Amino acid sequence: MNKNAVYIALAGNPNAGKSTIFNALTGSRQHVGNWPGKTVEKKEGIFKYKGGEVKITDLPGTYSLSAYSPEEQIARDFIVKEKPDLVINVVDAANLERNLYLTAQILETGTPLILVMNMSDVAESRGYKIDEGKLSEFLGDVPVVRTVASKGIGLNQLKEKVVAFVEKGATPSSHSVEYDQDIEKEIDTLSAAIAEIPELTNIYQPRWLAVRLIEGEQDLVNEVKQTPGTKHLLDASSQSHEKLHRIYGDDLDVAIADGRYGFVHGVVTSALKRSIEQRLTTSDKIDKVTTNKWLGIPIFLALMYLVFNLVQNVSAPYLDWVDGLFSGPITNWTVFLLNAAGSPKWFTSLLTDGIIAGVGGVLVFVPGLLVMYFSLAFLEDSGYLARAAFVMDKSMSALGLHGKSFIPMILSFGCNVPGIYATRTIENRSARTLTGLLIPFMSCSARLPVYILFGMAFFPSHAGTVIWGMYVIGVLVAIVVGLILSRTVFKNTERGAFVMELPPYRMPTFKGLIIHMWEHTSGFVRKAGTVIVAVTVVIWFLLSMPWGVENPHNSYFGQVSDAIAPVFAPAGFGKWEASGSLIAGFIAKEVVVSTMAQVYVGEGAAGGPSEPTTFLQDVRDIVVGFGDATVSATKELLEVFTPGITIFPAKENEDRQTALSRALQNAFTPLAAFAFLIFVLLYVPCVATVAAQAQEFGWQWAAFSVGLNMTVAWVLAILVYQGGRLLGLG
């Protein structure tokens, strides 16, 4: 490094002790003037040491780098435009959390910094214990010096660190604030646009400027406006604003500040211990419970149990309603119209037994998905999910992973595909890959239809427990596989330090929840409309070929499935119908159910010709059915939230058995059914997940993952079945 050109800036909150430190470093070699065009005082000085000298500028004291006041703007412009080689950030250790907000913003500029924890005498007298090592680590290996500037304590260490920097240089911290996924998406878009405009990249770091544009910082927006060739950037920026406005309303700036507070709160929660009780904010009080060493995990498990119960109980009445809608009126009307139009019999069969039955079989789960995604969005937007990740950090470390890997895994309960993409927030490459390999064991909502179908057919009084058990088994298998992989394939993974962000708790906005819920569910519906229709049609054809085949077993589909079936014999379900459904399930797990409907029940899935009804009658039934479903769902909802109290006496065990579940009861023993569920839980989730893995980690890892899932699923299904038989269970 060219020692003569080194330039250092001192930054910090007002009264953190900056001037005291500035004086200690520069002595009498000072020059006091004004910032150009401002009445704010500008102090510059020279720090001399054996071997050289460095120019230091004392920036105005600020709490933030947003350009709301002249002081903030001066400090911000200096750091971003003059690009000092180093920022010495003086923080008041007695008010660590508030002071680190500025630190988070300096880190975002990408400037290397030294953190000076001044006022450490005051902090100590208040009973604060700050773990400097952790503080440094969580800020991305930033050097930390503890000082009492007014007494000259620690100033020599500071000087040594400054000299070490001047002589050796430093890399900027790799850590930076991360915002909500919605905001991050827009940051990515805008950064990419900024990166193409040299006039801007000469001055600004793309990500930094992107965040500021999203915040809508007026002076920067104007500057971009005056830069030629930035029209597409400004357009993109207003589009981003529109999108984010839809989600956050007027609270976008709050959401961005939350990102920074979350970062800071995570650092402070990890590095600061208060031995004397402090006045706690509500957020702190809730955190004391939710991040408690003993309570944290049970609370998390209880919440997840509640979520799955909601999904199960609240969506069941609607499930029946959608099911009735497809197998009743929609099928009947289609048959009626087709007959009237003189359609050939095979076409009617393709449309009703193939497409309507297939798509209907999948859409019945939409109510469940809506409840599931609504609940997950609530947990995420309220700030709770970040706490869950924080609590899980210790447990995850046994797998060589961070708590950060936990959020993609939780999201994977909804769908594995977004889970795979969510691993992008994990910086360490092999930790990311390992997380991506464990995600398929997280039971996604597409597997739920299979559990519900089998649960109700074979374990009617314990269906909820069986479903819950599947999720738990998936997690346990992931843990065991993770333990093995982290000690073999990923032996050399370094866990590295990182910050678990803890944004303040907030009441999520209803609008935000609805948008998140709809985004995810509509993805599923689109899948039902495209992939699943295509697969159902293909399977319908394979089931009907060679033309005129009477028994589906003799069809092409039946023959291929038959050839593979023996592989599953040791697991108790070595029949062609089962293996055929599993093959189709490669495409997507929902397809297992629709295929079963085709092969087990086939024509007349709706239960034979139903009584002729009039159109008006049908419409009335649909409306009344929906009303009934809403009433039952509301009752269930009330009962989920008031456990132990039966508000509404249970109705007589209704007969929820369908034609398909009766067919299954003839084809599987309960033990074989359970082994089948284990296989469905653990084998490759769907082609979309494999494609996402290939995109994120490369084809080799995707192939490895497929092999891993198949092996684990097959071995465990056999173990369950054979073990169960030894125990005399079936």
| Residue ranges in 685-714 that form contacts with ligand GDP under rule CB under 6 A | none
Q: 88, 107, 148, 415: which one contacts ligand GDP (CB under 6 A)? A: 148
150 counts as binding ligand GDP under rule CB under 6 A: yes
Shortest distance, position 702 Cβ to Mg ion, whole Å: 57
Structure tokens at 336: 């009626």
Q: Collect all residues with Cβ–Cβ distance below 8 Å to 653 and sequence separation of at least 6.
A: 460
Cβ count within 10 A of residue 239: 13
**Smallest separation, CB 61 to Mg ion (Å):** 6
Separation of alpha carbons 290 and 398, rounded Å: 21
Task: Answer yes or no: are the C-beta atoms of 446 and 418 closer than 8 Å.
Answer: no
* Side-chain-side CA neighbours of residue 99 (13 Å): 23
Closest contact distance (angstroms) between CB of 61 and ligand GDP is 5
Per CB under 6 A, the list member of 77, 121, 215, 696 interacting with ligand GDP is 121
Q: Compare residues 10 and 712 and give the one whose CB is closer to Mg ion.
A: 10
Quick one: what does residue 528 bind among Mg ion, ligand GDP, none, with the CB cut-off 5 to 8 Å set by partner type? none
DSSP codes, 127-182 = TEEE-HHHHHHHTTS--EEE-BGGGTBTHHHHHHHHHHHHHH--PPPS------HH
User: Quick one: 41 or 196, whose CB is closer to ligand GDP?
Assistant: 41
Rank residues 22 and 300 by Cβ distance to ligand GDP and give the closer one: 22
Taking the least distance from each CB to ligand GDP, the nearer of 63 and 586 is: 63
* Selected binder of ligand GDP within 6, 149, 183, 434 (CB under 6 A): 149
Question: Residue 43: how many CB atoms within 10 A of its CB?
Answer: 19
Q: Which of 19, 23, 157, 613 binds Mg ion (CB under 5 A)?
A: 19
Instruction: Rank residues 58 and 180 by Cβ distance to Mg ion and give the closer one.
Output: 58
Nearer to ligand GDP, 123 or 267 (CB): 123
Under rule CB under 6 A, residue 122 binds ligand GDP: yes
Select the span of 11-19, 280-288, 348-356, 465-473 touching Mg ion (CB under 5 A): 11-19
Q: Between 19 and 382, name the residue whose CB sits nearer to Mg ion.
A: 19
Q: Residue of minimal CB distance from Mg ion?
A: 19
Q: Find out whether 478 and 441 touch, Cβ atoms under 8 Å.
A: yes
Q: For residue 672, what are its two tokens?
A: 């074989």
Q: In sequence order, which residues have a C-beta less than 8 Å from that of residue 179 and are 6 or more positions away?
A: 187, 211, 255, 256, 259
Question: 53 touches which of Mg ion, ligand GDP, none (CB within 5 to 8 A by kind)?
Answer: none
In the bound state with ligand GDP, the residue whose beta carbon lies nearer, of 118 and 269, is: 118
Minimal distance, residue 132 CB to ligand GDP, in Å:
15
Residue 312's binding partner among ligand GDP, Mg ion, none (Cβ under 5 to 8 angstroms by kind) is none
**b (16+ CB within 10 A) / e for 426-438:** bebebbbbbbbbb
Q: Which of 9, 43, 56, 61 touches ligand GDP (CB under 6 A)?
A: 61
CB 692 within 8 A of CB 662: no
Q: Which does 499 bind (CB under 5 to 8 A by kind): Mg ion, ligand GDP, none?
A: none
CB of 77 to ligand GDP, least distance (A): 19
Termini Cα distance of the chain: 75
| Inter-residue contact 116 to 106 (CB < 8 Å) | no
* Smallest gap from residue 17 Cβ to ligand GDP (A): 3
The one of ligand GDP, Mg ion, none whose footprint includes residue 545, by CB under 5 to 8 A per kind, is none
Compute φ and ψ for 661, nearest 5 degrees.
-70, -30
118 contact choice in Mg ion, ligand GDP, none (CB below 5 to 8 Å, kind-dependent):
ligand GDP
- Strand order from edge to edge, sheet including 52-58: 30-34, 41-49, 52-58, 7-12, 86-92, 113-118, 144-146
Which residues, at least 6 apart from 63, have a Cβ–Cβ distance to it below 8 Å?
A: 13, 14, 72, 98, 101, 102
Residue 151 or 511 with smaller CB distance to Mg ion = 151
How far apart are alpha carbons 380 and 399 in whole angstroms? 24
- Within 101-120, the residues that bind ligand GDP by CB under 6 A are 118-119
Using rule CB under 6 A, residue 416 touches ligand GDP: no
Residue 544: contacted member of ligand GDP, Mg ion, none (CB under 5 to 8 Å, by partner type): none
439 binds, among Mg ion, ligand GDP, none (CB under 5 to 8 A by kind): none
Q: Report the relative pairing of strands 41-49 and 52-58 from DSSP bridges.
A: antiparallel
Choose between 10 and 672: whose C-beta lies nearer to ligand GDP.
Answer: 10
Query: What gap in Å lies between CA 583 and CA 592, rounded to an integer?
Result: 8
Q: In the complex, what is the shortest distance from the CB of residue 379 to Mg ion, in angstroms, rounded to a whole number?
A: 44
What gap in Å lies between CA 327 and CA 474, rounded to an integer? 32
Closer residue to Mg ion in complex, CB, 19/181: 19
Long-range contacts for 238-241 (Cβ within 8 Å, ≥24 apart)? 240/186, 240/189, 240/190, 240/213, 240/214, 241/214, 241/216
Nearer Cβ to Mg ion, position 43 or 55?
A: 43
Residue 14 CB, nearest approach to Mg ion (Å): 7
Considering only residues 3 to 32 of the shown chain, the ones binding ligand GDP according to CB under 6 A are 12, 14-20
φ/ψ of residue 294, rounded to 5:
-95, -35
Amino acid at 145: V
Q: How many residues bind Mg ion (CB under 5 A)?
A: 1
Q: Which residues sit at the interface with ligand GDP, rule CB under 6 A? A: 12, 14-20, 61, 118-119, 121-122, 147-150
Q: Which residues sit at the interface with Mg ion, rule CB under 5 A? A: 19
